[in-house]
Amino acid sequence: MNTFRKYCSPFSFNQDQLEFDFKSKKELLANKFLQSYFSHEGFFRFAIDVKESIEDEIILMAEYENGHEWWVVGFLKNKNHVASFPKAKMKRKCSMCEKDAFAFHLEYRNDFCKKHFEEIKKRVKKDLK
Ligand SMILES: [Zn+2]
């Protein structure tokens, strides 16, 4: 047994509470609210984030655009029936090209691929001289 609880964003108009128990992944995905994600434009897959869990809950995320965009869908009480979901990668794109980001640069407040990250690092060093 596991429990899903919908995440209500403070910025969302849709504040309808939703919480339900489920006994299988199939039962979870059969829910109307979760089913609606499959028709979203660019929807890629559901994924779970264990690392960022709050108070032992697991975050269920919806990934879009091949995993480059993601939104919190809700919270799962435990790991029962959801172990087969992929782990959320939360991939970001480089802010200067189309490549996957390698790291977030604190001073530039942006994501960069390895090549551009090195360039920015050099630029920062020059600025300090
Ligand atoms: Zn780049």
Do both 70 and 8 map to the same domain? Answer: yes
Q: 66: CA distance to ligand 1 center in Å?
A: 18
Q: Is residue 55 part of a domain?
A: yes
3-state class (DSSP) for residue 92 = coil
**Pick from 88, 73, 75, 76: nearest CA to 33:** 73
Q: What is the pLDDT along the chain (129 residues), one digit of tens a residue?
A: 999 999 887 776 667 889 999 999 999 999 999 999 999 999 999 999 876 555 667 889 999 988 888 888 999 998 899 989 998 877 788 999 988 888 888 888 888 999 999 999 888 887 777
Both 102 and 63 in one domain: the answer is no
For the entire predicted model, the pTM comes to 0.71
- What is the bridge-based pairing of β-strands 110-112 and 103-105? antiparallel
Domain containing 106 equals 93-129
Q: How far is the CA of 49 from the centre of ligand 1 (A)?
A: 26
Q: Is residue 85 one of the residues assigned to a domain?
A: no
* Helix-strand-coil split of the chain, %, nearest 5: 25, 30, 45
**C-alpha 119 to ligand 1 mean position (Å):** 9
**Chain position carrying tokens 């434009």:** 41
User: Is residue 87 one of the residues assigned to a domain?
Assistant: no
Residues 57 and 11 in one domain: yes
Q: Based on the domain organization, do 60 and 106 belong to the same domain? A: no
SS3 79: coil
